Amino acid sequence: MEIIQDPPKAAFSWFPGHMKSAWRMLEEQLKEIDLVLFLLDARIPRSCQHPQLLASLSKRPVEQIWILNKVDLANADETRLWAAHLRQQHTVVEMQSQSGSGLGPLRQPLSALKQRLDAKRSGRSLLERPVRLMVVGLPNVGKSSLLNKLVGRASAKTGKKPGLTRGKSNWVSGPEGLQIRDTPGILYPRIETWTQLAHLTACGNVKSDVVPRFEVANLLLARLAQLGLSERLPAPCLTLEELGQRLGFLLKGGIVDLERAAAWLFNQCFDGKLGNITWEPLHEPTE
């Protein structure tokens, strides 16, 4: 994770060494890959895009399929808009990798890509070999879940906490005669603004215990208001202080328990308890 402007310090110190080696490993792995399945969280398609990955892919003969995942947690109309927008440049599939819904629609572009890649190889008189695929995306976007669905068994660990998938990887057989790397490529987000940090925290891509929680929670409350969704809270409120008051989270002397209020808000977001939310609509709401 790299924060460019106005860095929130606690978030900035999040495993810098680990991130660097993860990127180096991913770059190495990409050398043997023909096709990348790039997962984005449908709630935050902007923050899930990764300039470093896209730059790296543009230098190689690698095909891409973009997957808008967790569509069950996003606003369906916004997902449609995002998919149409991204389709201007990429092959896009909408998905719920946890349940496997969306796998059917993924098979068609996979098989089309496989045919194209096979034709390319034979056109260049290259030896025949299986087409190699890799699942790539930010922590917690659903990479391991997708991998398990693709190979039809629980080969990759999944979980709510980012960073579960580690270690050496191998190839496994997937659909359409493709070979799949059995460990996904983890990308660490490049965080340019506090708002982006807030969105990534709400969607579980950045651990909530390493971010400045009160600032992030306040930003999420402000964002809910901006998106016209404050009524999804138990009572409309604009600040964490107010939220804590409304929830009756009080410490001795009537002081609001901001920690508890922030934890409550994050849990509501993680579990989709506030309903379907696209934190990053394609078009920003007008004031």
Ligand X SMILES: Nc1nc2c(ncn2[C@@H]2O[C@H](COP(=O)(O)OP(=O)(O)O)[C@@H](O)[C@H]2O)c(=O)[nH]1
**At its nearest, how many Å lie between ligand X and the CB of residue 128?**
31
Within 69-98, which residues bind ligand X (CB under 6 A)?
A: 69-70, 72-73, 96-98
Q: Residue 253: is it exposed, middle or buried by C-beta count within 10 angstroms (0-12/13-18/19+)?
A: exposed
Tell which phi-psi region holds residue 46, choosing left (phi > 0), alpha (psi between -120 and 50) or beta.
alpha
Return the DSSP state at 155: -
183 binds Mg ion (CB under 5 A): no
Q: Which residue in the set 8, 139, 174, 189 belongs to the binding site for ligand X (CB under 6 A)?
A: 139
Choose the binding region for Mg ion from 11-19, 20-28, 70-78, 165-173 (rule: CB under 5 A): 165-173
What's the token pair of residue 100?
A: 């496997």
149 binds ligand X (CB under 6 A): no
Indicate which of ligand X, Mg ion, none lies near residue 145 (CB less than 5 to 8 Å, by partner kind): ligand X
Q: Which residue in the set 165, 196, 218, 276 belongs to the binding site for ligand X (CB under 6 A)?
A: 165
Instruction: Work out the number of other CB atoms within 10 angstroms of the CB of residue 94.
Output: 20
Q: What is the DSSP string of 183-246?
A: SPEE---EE-SHHHHHHHHHTTSS-GGGS-HHHHHHHHHHHHHHTT-GGGSSS--SSHHHHHHH
Q: Which residue in the set 69, 79, 97, 165 belongs to the binding site for Mg ion (CB under 5 A)?
A: 165
Q: Which residue in the set 75, 79, 145, 218 belongs to the binding site for ligand X (CB under 6 A)?
A: 145
Angle between helices 258-270 and 240-247 (to 10 degrees): 90
144 binds Mg ion (CB under 5 A): yes
**At its nearest, how many Å lie between ligand X and the CB of residue 147?**
8
Instruction: Work out the number of other CB atoms within 10 angstroms of the CB of residue 200.
Output: 27
247-286 footprint of Mg ion as x/- string (CB under 5 A)? ----------------------------------------
Cα three-residue angle 124-126-131, rounded to 5 degrees: 105
Closest to ligand X by CB, 73 or 103: 73
SS3 assignment, position 117: helix
Where along the sequence are the contacts to ligand X (CB under 6 A)?
69-70, 72-73, 96-98, 137, 139-145, 158-160, 162, 164-165, 184
